[in-house]
Structure 1
Amino acid sequence: MTDHPDQAAHGSSQAPPAEWNGRATNRFQWLPALAGAGCVALGIELALDGAWTSGIAPLLMSVIGCLAAGLLILFGTLAFVHVAVRVDGDSLEVRCGHAGLPRRRILLSHVTGAEFVPRITPRHWGGWGYRWRPEQGTAVVVRRGEGMALRLGDGRTFTVTVDDAEEAVRFIRARLHLPAAGGRPRD
């Protein structure tokens, strides 16, 4: 998704867009979130209607366990229901979930390359979410499909799943004055 997607197609003499925005969504993440909400509801139910005759310690542990597990599942999955990516003149910002957390901002001055990745799968990264693998770098994976990989100046790689990643890579390469895939550097 770009701010003015048909601008280049019509040969407009206007300046290129100042920023690129994209996002990716995983509706499947709502299912684990519902399970987390169920655990929270069970913890509340146990606290309100539990048989306190068997002792306070076992019931208290059950209530705390259900609430803690439910909240961890609920917030852990809702954080990765979608990802929003914004690239402007000097940085790339990735915001996850409805609260925008976790968030990562990478200055384009720290980027040495950008590549379109046609297929990213959670299996390659060990699941959904914010991931780190020593041999692959860091990634934000919210769904299966296309994404982009940025090579950073310190040798690390940052990968993110996002719709229309090919356009994002073109936008970043233009900002960095890098050649298009298979092309020459622009002056």
Structure 2
Amino acid sequence: MSSLKYLKHYSQELQAQITQLIESEKLTKHILKHYPTPHQVSNDKMLREFTLEFKNRYIKKSDPLSKVIYDNKIHVVNNALGLHSYASRVQGNKLKSKNEIRISSVFKKAPEAFLQMIVVHELAHLKEKDHNKAFYKLCCHMLPNYHQLEFDMRLYLTHLEFIGEVYLSEEQSR
């Protein structure tokens, strides 16, 4: 089995346990036990509303978001799960800034908890640009089980890579 790229920063022992779950065909059952259904945030408008709920609840005073969308290119091109971008432009005599959040389309069929984790991660970048202590403290403030969800999401991505979709449609499961 090739390397577990989403889990490469974890211990060899943990990677061996995950490899065993894959080889014994138990990873799907493990994920479904904790996350039995995918979310229902199926389009960009719903994703924007979902994201703004978190923003308004936890970081209301941060800069506004100009765009929140699912992006088909992120996962493949950037090997990232979501992107935040900040652009400043001069319009007339004013400096305007735009904050955008793009989330990989891979998460259109993911559990809601994973979508929350990605949204929280990208929102935290509105306040903290770097992945530092303050950044992760903000993530945990918005989502107390952030680190567990990040690990579980990495298991989910490993599943997609080695096994395929977790949540099959009626037609696919026949």
Q: TM-score w.r.t. structure 1 length?
A: 0.25
Q: Name the structure with the higher strand share.
A: 1
Q: Name the structure with the higher helix share.
A: 2
Q: TM-score w.r.t. structure 2 length?
A: 0.26
**The structure with more radius of gyration:** 1
